[in-house]
Amino acid sequence: MTEASTRPRIGVLAIQGDYAAHAEALAAHGAEPVEVRKPEELAGLDGLILPGGESTTMLKFLAKHHFFEALKEYCNHHPVFGTCAGAILLAREVRNPAQLSLGVLDAVVERNAYGRQIDSAILTAPTELAGGPLEMVFIRAPRIVEVGAEVRVLAQRDGFPVLVRQGNVMAATFHPELSADRRVHRLFVELVTAAASKPHLEH
Ligand code: GLN
């Protein structure tokens, strides 16, 4: 954040998926959303959202545009929030099948873990967030099958974490941008705002 502005600038990786809905949710909480398609567009951002989509397609795009390493470097030093395919990209290990990931979230993630028949679902369930049960939209969702000791589980589905936070890294296996309830984005904007006021962030 610059001194002149108290609005955090939060990037949304705009390769595919519903990045426009993420941008809207960020703007609703006073952040300035910025679409990111190239490594140089990460400069000056206070945080970044990695939206859902197909993680394999996103990986291909990142490789083709020499963007993977720059993204990894960014994610290691700034607040980041991955939803669905974005959560897959952030994980330490990906299964079903194994694939490359950024490794900034101490979690093992299994892709397409709910099977073909029940791959999409909308659940409303209690979470650690204040304000009552949260609507969660799952679309060909991954499952977080293991988390490290530093990872806080904020919501679960069938006993598996679906919303987690590890310091300045957040991940959701559902799509908070598709619900009218903006509490998850609000939490990320708060986290980015707090981190931006501390000059030398490491996580
Ligand atoms: N099934 C997708 C993947 O494995 C994730 C789905 C999503 O982001 N909605 O990458």
pLDDT of residue 15: 93
Q: Which residues contact 45 (CB under 8 A, 6 or more apart)?
A: 9, 10, 11, 34, 36, 74, 78
> What band does 198 get if pLDDT is binned at 50, 70 and 90?
confident
Ligand 1 neighbour 88 (Cβ under 6 A): yes
Ligand 1 mean position to 24 CA, how many Å? Answer: 21
**2 occurs within a structural domain:** no
Q: Which residues contact 17 (CB under 8 A, 6 or more apart)?
A: 51, 52, 53, 85
pLDDT tens, 45-76?
999 999 999 999 999 999 999 999 999 999 99
> What band does 116 get if pLDDT is binned at 50, 70 and 90?
low
Decide if 201 contacts 77 (C-beta within 8 A).
Answer: yes
Q: Using CA of residue 202, residue 169, residue 73, residue 106, what is the dihedral sign?
A: positive
Reported for 105-108, long-range contacts at CB under 8 A and 24+ positions apart, including other chains, are 105/151, 105/164, 105/166, 105/169, 105/171, 106/147, 106/148, 106/150, 106/151, 106/166, 107/144, 107/146, 107/147, 107/148, 107/151, 107/161, 107/164, 107/166, 107/171, 108/144, 108/145, 108/146, 108/147
- Helices 183-196 and 19-28: angle between axes, nearest 10 degrees: 70
Q: What is d(CA 109, CA 13) in angstroms, rounded to the nearest whole number?
A: 20
**1 occurs within a structural domain:** no
Ligand 1 atom closest to Cα of 58?
Answer: 10
Total domain count, the chain:
1
Domain of 123, CATH number, reads: 3.40.50.880
Ligand 1 mean position to 142 CA, how many Å? Answer: 7
Ligand 1 mean position to 6 CA, how many Å? Answer: 34
**203 occurs within a structural domain:** no
pLDDT of residue 153: 98
Shortest CA distance to 133 belongs to which of 153, 156, 152? 156
pLDDT of residue 3: 45
pLDDT of residue 118: 65
Pocket test for ligand 1, best of 54, 99, 102 (most atoms within 8 A of CB): 54
Ligand 1 atom closest to Cα of 54?
Answer: 10
Pocket test for ligand 1, best of 13, 58, 62, 88 (most atoms within 8 A of CB): 88
pLDDT tens, 14-45?
998 889 999 999 999 999 999 999 999 999 99
Domain that holds residue 147: 9-196
pLDDT tens, 129-174?
999 999 999 999 999 999 999 999 999 999 999 999 999 999 999 9
Q: With pLDDT > 90 as the criterion, what percentage of the chain qualifies?
A: 88
pLDDT at 203 over 90: no
pLDDT of residue 197: 86
User: Catalytic site residues?
Assistant: 84, 175, 177
**202 occurs within a structural domain:** no
Ligand 1 neighbour 99 (Cβ under 6 A): no
Average pLDDT over every residue of 109-138: 91
**164 occurs within a structural domain:** yes
